C-alpha cells in the first residue's frame, strides 16, 4: 500500500467520523432536555464534526495552500460555534428560559432581581 | 501555583497547554456523545450552573477563557462578571461544585501560563461572592 492510498483512506475515515459526530449531535437536539444542554453539547460537537470533515478532505488532497485554508476554516468554525453557543445561551437565560428540572444548582438565578419578587414563579 | 506549568519556559507552556486542551476537547466530546446515546433512564448528566472564581485580568484573557470553556462540549459560559471576577458556567456533568471549579481553574491556570510570559498574578477571590440583588426601592415586598 503506497502512501497516497493510505492518506486517502485516513481522509475517508475522518470524513465519516465527522458525519457520525454531526448525526449524533442532531440526535442530541431531540434527546437533551433544555436549551443549555443542547447549546453546550450540540454547538461544539457539530463544530468538531465540521473540523473533522475539513481535515479529512485535506488528507485526501494535500497541498500547503490547502493546509492553510483548512487551518483557517477549522479555527473560524470553532470560534464562531463557541461564540454563537454563548450568545444563544445568554439570550435564553435573559428571556426566562429556565434550566430543566434535573439542574441541581443554579448560582446565576440569585443575581436576578425579578426572581426575588414575591409573585414570580420559581419554576417555569 | 508552584506547579511545573508556571515555572517552565514560556514556549513549553504554550505547547503543553495546546496538547492538554486538545486532549480535554476530545475526551469531553466522547463523554457527551456517549451520554447522548445512552438510554434515558441511565443517563449520567447532572447539569448545574456554578459561579467559578477566575484569575483573568485583561479583555483578551476573559474572551479566550470563556470561549475555550464553551468550546469544550458539556461546559458552557453563560455570563461573566468582571467586577466580581466570576465565570458563570453551565456544566453537564457536575457531581459536585468543587469538581467543576477545579476543572475550570486548571484550564484557566494553563491558559494564563500560555498567554503570559510571566505567570504573574494568579490569585482568585476566595470567598463565595454575595451577589444578591439590591432590594427594589419603588415597591415594597410583603
Task: Please list every residue in chain B whose beta carbon sits closer than 8 Å to the beta carbon of residue A37.
Answer: 45, 47, 90, 92
Mean pLDDT of A3-21: 89
Does the structure show a pLDDT above 90 at B39? Answer: no
Q: Which of B33, B50, B142 sits opposite A107 (nearest CB)?
A: B50
Q: Identify the pLDDT of residue A12.
A: 93
Gap from B5 CA to chain A (nearest CA, Å): 25
> Would you call A105 an interface residue with chain B, using a CB distance cutoff of 8 Å?
yes
Mean pLDDT of B64-92: 87
User: Residue A76, class by beta-carbon neighbours within 10 Å (0-12 exposed, 13-18 middle, 19+ buried)?
Assistant: exposed
Q: Identify the pLDDT of residue B139.
A: 47
CB distance B79–A90 less than 8 Å? yes
Does the structure show a pLDDT above 90 at A16? Answer: yes
Region of poorest pLDDT, from A119-123, B45-49, B107-111, B121-125: A119-123
- Contact (CB, 8 A) for B79 and A93: yes
Q: Identify the pLDDT of residue A70.
A: 92
Helices (H), B52-121: 59-71, 97-115
Q: pLDDT band for position B109 (50/70/90)?
A: confident
With b for 16 or more beta-carbon neighbours within 10 A and e for fewer, the B81-117 pattern comes to eeeebbbbbbbbbbeebeebbebbbebbbbbbbbbbe
Does the structure show a pLDDT above 90 at B74? Answer: no
Q: Identify the pLDDT of residue B135.
A: 57
CB distance B50–A83 less than 8 Å? no
Mean pLDDT of A28-40: 85
Report which of A39, A42, A40 is spatially closest to residue A26, judged by C-alpha positions.
Answer: A42
More confident residue, B8 or A117: B8
CB distance B70–A44 less than 8 Å? yes
Region of poorest pLDDT, from A41-50, A76-85, B64-73: A41-50
CB distance B94–A104 less than 8 Å? yes
With b for 16 or more beta-carbon neighbours within 10 A and e for fewer, the B44-75 pattern comes to ebebbbbbbbbbbeeeebbebbbbbbbbbbbb
Radius of gyration of chain B (CA): 17
Best mutation target among B47, B80, B142 (most A Cβ atoms within 10 Å) is B47
Does the structure show a pLDDT above 50 at A29? Answer: yes
CB distance B49–A27 less than 8 Å? no
d(CA A10, CA B57): 42
Q: Which of B68, B88, B134 sits opposite A107 (nearest CB)?
A: B88
CB distance B132–A110 less than 8 Å? yes
> Would you call A78 an interface residue with chain B, using a CB distance cutoff of 8 Å?
yes
Mean pLDDT of B9-30: 88
- Contact (CB, 8 A) for A17 and A52: yes
Gap from A86 CA to chain B (nearest CA, Å): 6
Mean pLDDT of B118-125: 72
Q: Identify the pLDDT of residue B129.
A: 56
Q: Identify the pLDDT of residue A114.
A: 62
Mean pLDDT of B10-24: 89
Gap from A97 CA to chain B (nearest CA, Å): 13
- Contact (CB, 8 A) for B80 and B41: no
Mean pLDDT of A103-113: 73
Supply the mean pLDDT for chain A. Answer: 82
Chain A residue with minimal CA distance to B41?
A31
Does the structure show a pLDDT above 90 at A69? Answer: yes
CB distance B49–A107 less than 8 Å? yes
Q: Identify the pLDDT of residue B9.
A: 81
CB distance B67–A79 less than 8 Å? yes
- Contact (CB, 8 A) for B87 and B52: yes
> Would you call A48 an interface residue with chain B, using a CB distance cutoff of 8 Å?
yes
Q: pLDDT band for position A43 (50/70/90)?
A: confident
Mean pLDDT of B86-99: 86
Amino acid at each position: 500500500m503506497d502512501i497516497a492510498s493510505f492518506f486517502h483512506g485516513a481522509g475517508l475515515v475522518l470524513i465519516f467520523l465527522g458525519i457520525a459526530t454531526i448525526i449524533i449531535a442532531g440526535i442530541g437536539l431531540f434527546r437533551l432536555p433544555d436549551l443549555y444542554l443542547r447549546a453546550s453539547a450540540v454547538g461544539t460537537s457539530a463544530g468538531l464534526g465540521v473540523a473533522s470533515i475539513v481535515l479529512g478532505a485535506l488528507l485526501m488532497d494535500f497541498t500547503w495552500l490547502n493546509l492553510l485554508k483548512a487551518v483557517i476554516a477549522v479555527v473560524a468554525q470553532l470560534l464562531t460555534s463557541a461564540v454563537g453557543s454563548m450568545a444563544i445561551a445568554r439570550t435564553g437565560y435573559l428571556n426566562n428560559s429556565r434550566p430543566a428540572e434535573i439542574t441541581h444548582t443554579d448560582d446565576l438565578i440569585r443575581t436576578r432581581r425579578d426572581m426575588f419578587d414575591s409573585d414570580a414563579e420559581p419554576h417555569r | 501555583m508552584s506547579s511545573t506549568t508556571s515555572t517552565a519556559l514560556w514556549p513549553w507552556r504554550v505547547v503543553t497547554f495546546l496538547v492538554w486542551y486538545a486532549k480535554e476537547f476530545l475526551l469531553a466530546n466522547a463523554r457527551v456523545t456517549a451520554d447522548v446515546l445512552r438510554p434515558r433512564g441511565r443517563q449520567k448528566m447532572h447539569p448545574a450552573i456554578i459561579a467559578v472564581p477566575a484569575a483573568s485580568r485583561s479583555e483578551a484573557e476573559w474572551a479566550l477563557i470563556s470561549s475555550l470553556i464553551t468550546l469544550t462540549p458539556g461546559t458552557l459560559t453563560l455570563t461573566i462578571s468582571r467586577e466580581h471576577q466570576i465565570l458563570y458556567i453551565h456544566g453537564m456533568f457536575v457531581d459536585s461544585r468543587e469538581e467543576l471549579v477545579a476543572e475550570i481553574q486548571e484550564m484557566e491556570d494553563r491558559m494564563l501560563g500560555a498567554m503570559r510570559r510571566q505567570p504573574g498574578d494568579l490569585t482568585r477571590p476566595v470567598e463565595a461572592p454575595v451577589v444578591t440583588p439590591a432590594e427594589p426601592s419603588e415597591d415594597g415586598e410583603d
